[in-house]
């Protein structure tokens, strides 16, 4: 599969105004499995970003702006078809960039990346608007109705953990609503975004509708994009700190913002739970994708009567996780995204140990005796014994780790779970129906799961509260963000 990686050893270019262009500055795209250089990436400068924004603005009133909704939706279906036609290339590129397993890239990331275009292309055709009959003094009345218009030029800034899936999760509804887009993938994972630009070109997407710029945040493509006066809206998934910086940059232009940011998600496990389901679900919610999913659980609260049993069971399951090569079918978990991120994760582990944590398992870097030792691997890790104000309990790590603490009462569990500056997701494990509803509704989060994790209906609202985000994505919630309703009043 790695031999199928597109542009291996070459240069990943920007896609601006319908053309692929390089630049003077190139940076290395590193494989986190063995530290090798996959290819090099052309960093977009301020001039390149400016050309992209101007092309996107022109496209709003050009061929794209004149297309009917039906014509736009047919084109988005072609994009999905073209991704699937190059499926193996997308899978290989995603694996090379992230080090994630063949199973995950093949069964989750790339299929969802294609499906997002179909989902929103179909959903926009049923987007509703309001209509009111308004009485007037002369008795003739008036009609007030709303029409949905595109916001304009949208900057889509995507993260590195689910590169294609989360890029298209924003891109598809933005295009379905009639906007034009400048996309900036993470500098860590530029490959599938570049392939997507090739797909857009192949299917005949009108010039300027989709633009791609590579680079970093400050003093690079990210900052040039978010501060550009020609950008009408910014949608971003990533760290809360970065979201705050983007919000400040976008303030002068009063741009529309949609942020899905960090999380320090809690799981509450009551003693009346289905024990095996709770253990299995917690293994998934803590260690999936090396803990590098915004919805992963980093804090577990377990009722005291089953605390020791649960910790022992989770330890066995964590130690059974196979950390390996992405192409090995037995691999359960790959590396974290980079050596820099691995160092950050390990620094949290060292902080936890210094604060007196009990290391149940893991806590370091695995050794393989082969080229994986040059990669960015981290052991699946479980801590106990820390107070609620410990650094690793309060701050997002974004790695394969959790801290487990006991609780006695339902009220105590709810209070500890909600004692966070973040509020993205929570899990509740109980067979008591009344408790399930009661506790789930008390969670200060955007998504609360009961007896499951990561079960998503893409029509439902998705987002966070507190430091975890602004706004909601999913279904009509995405379309409503990317649309600007205009009220029309007609006197009868």
The SS3 of residue 291 is helix
Q: Tell me which of 43, 188, 223, 260 is the catalytic residue.
A: 260
323: nearest Cα among 383, 368, 364, 382: 368
Tell me the two tokens of residue 132. 């009111």
Residue with tokens 């910790």: 311
| Structure-block tokens of residue 45 | 């400068």
Are the C-beta atoms of 185 and 167 separated by less than 8 Å? Answer: yes
29 forms bridges with which residues in the sheet?
A: 39
Q: Which of 205, 217, 213, 216 is nearest to 180 (CA)?
A: 205
Residue 479 has φ and ψ, to the nearest 5°, of: -60, -35
Q: Which of 43, 187, 198, 294 is catalytic?
A: 294
Residue 227's nearest CA partner among 209, 247, 212 is 247
Q: In whole angstroms, give the CA distance from residue 284 to residue 295.
A: 11
Concerning whether 402 is annotated as a catalytic residue, the answer is: no
> Cα separation of 227 and 13, whole Å?
22
What lies within 8 Å, CB to CB, of 113 at 6+ separation is: 83, 90, 164, 165, 167, 168, 192, 196
Would residue 84 show up in a list of annotated catalytic residues for this protein?
no
Query: What's the 3-state SS for 448-490?
Result: EEECCCCCCCCCCCECCEECCEECCECHHHHHHHCEEEEEEEE
Task: Please list the active-site residues.
Answer: 260, 294
């Amino acid at each position: 599969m790695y031999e199928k990686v597109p542009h291996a050893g070459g240069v990943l270019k920007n896609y601006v105004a319908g053309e692929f262009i390089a630049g003077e500055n190139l940076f290395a795209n590193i494989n986190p499995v063995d530290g090798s250089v996959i290819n090099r990436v052309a960093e977009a400068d301020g001039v390149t970003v400016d050309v992209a924004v101007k092309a996107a603005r022109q496209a709003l009133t050009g061929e794209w702006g004149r297309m009917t909704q039906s014509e736009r939706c047919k084109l988005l279906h072609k994009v999905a078809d073209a991704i699937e036609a190059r499926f193996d290339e997308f899978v290989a590129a995603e694996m090379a960039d992230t080090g994630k397993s063949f199973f995950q890239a093949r069964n989750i990331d790339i299929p969802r990346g294609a499906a997002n275009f179909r989902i929103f292309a179909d959903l926009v055709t049923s987007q509703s608007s309001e209509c009111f009959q308004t009485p007037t003094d002369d008795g003739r009345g008036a009609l007030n109705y709303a029409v949905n218009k595109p916001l304009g030029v949208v900057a889509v800034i995507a993260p590195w953990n689910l590169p294609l899936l989360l890029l298209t999760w924003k891109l598809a509804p933005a295009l379905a609503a009639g906007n034009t887009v400048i996309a900036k993938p993470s500098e860590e994972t530029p490959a599938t975004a570049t392939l997507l630009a090739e797909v857009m070109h192949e299917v005949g997407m009108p010039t300027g509708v989709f633009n791609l710029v590579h680079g970093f945040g400050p003093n690079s493509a990210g900052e040039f994009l978010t501060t550009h006066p020609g950008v009408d809206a910014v949608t971003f998934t990533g760290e809360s700190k970065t979201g705050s910086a983007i919000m400040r940059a976008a303030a002068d232009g009063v741009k529309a913002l949609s942020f899905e940011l960090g999380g320090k998600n809690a799981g509450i496990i009551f003693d009346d739970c289905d024990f095996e389901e709770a253990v299995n679900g917690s293994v998934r919610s803590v260690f999936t994708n090396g803990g590098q999913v915004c919805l992963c659980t980093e804090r577990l609260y377990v009722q005291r009567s089953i605390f020791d049993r649960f910790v022992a069971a989770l330890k066995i399951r964590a130690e059974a996780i196979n950390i390996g090569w992405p192409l090995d079918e037995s691999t359960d978990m790959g590396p974290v995204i980079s050596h820099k991120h691995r160092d950050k994760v390990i620094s949290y582990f060292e902080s936890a140990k210094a604060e007196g944590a009990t290391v149940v398992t893991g806590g370091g870097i695995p050794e393989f005796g082969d080229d994986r030792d040059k990669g960015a691997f981290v052991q699946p890790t479980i801590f106990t014994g820390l107070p609620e104000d410990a650094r690793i309990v309060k701050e997002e790590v974004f790695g394969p780790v959790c801290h487990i603490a006991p609780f006695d009462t339902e009220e105590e569990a709810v209070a500890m779970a909600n004692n966070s500056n973040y509020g993205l997701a929570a899990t509740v494990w109980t067979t008591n129906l009344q408790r399930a509803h009661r506790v789930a509704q008390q969670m200060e989060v955007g998504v609360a799961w009961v007896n499951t994790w990561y079960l998503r209906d893409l029509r439902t609202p998705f987002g966070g509260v507190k430091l975890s985000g602004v706004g909601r994505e999913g279904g009509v919630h995405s379309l409503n963000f990317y649309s600007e309703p205009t009220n029309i009043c007609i006197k009868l």
